[in-house]
Amino acid sequence: MLTGLREIGVDLKEIAYIMVTHIHVDHWGGASL
Residue 28 pLDDT exceeds 80: no
Q: What confidence category does residue 15 fall into, taking pLDDT thresholds of 50, 70 and 90? A: very high
Question: Would you say the pTM of this structure is higher than 0.85?
Answer: no
The C-alpha atoms of residue 19 and residue 25 are separated, in whole angstroms, by: 16
| pLDDT (0 to 100) of residue 33 | 53
Average pLDDT of span 6-17? 94
Average pLDDT of span 3-22? 90
Average pLDDT of span 17-26? 79
| pLDDT (0 to 100) of residue 1 | 79
30 and 3 Cβ atoms separated by less than 8 Å:
no
The C-alpha atoms of residue 10 and residue 18 are separated, in whole angstroms, by: 13
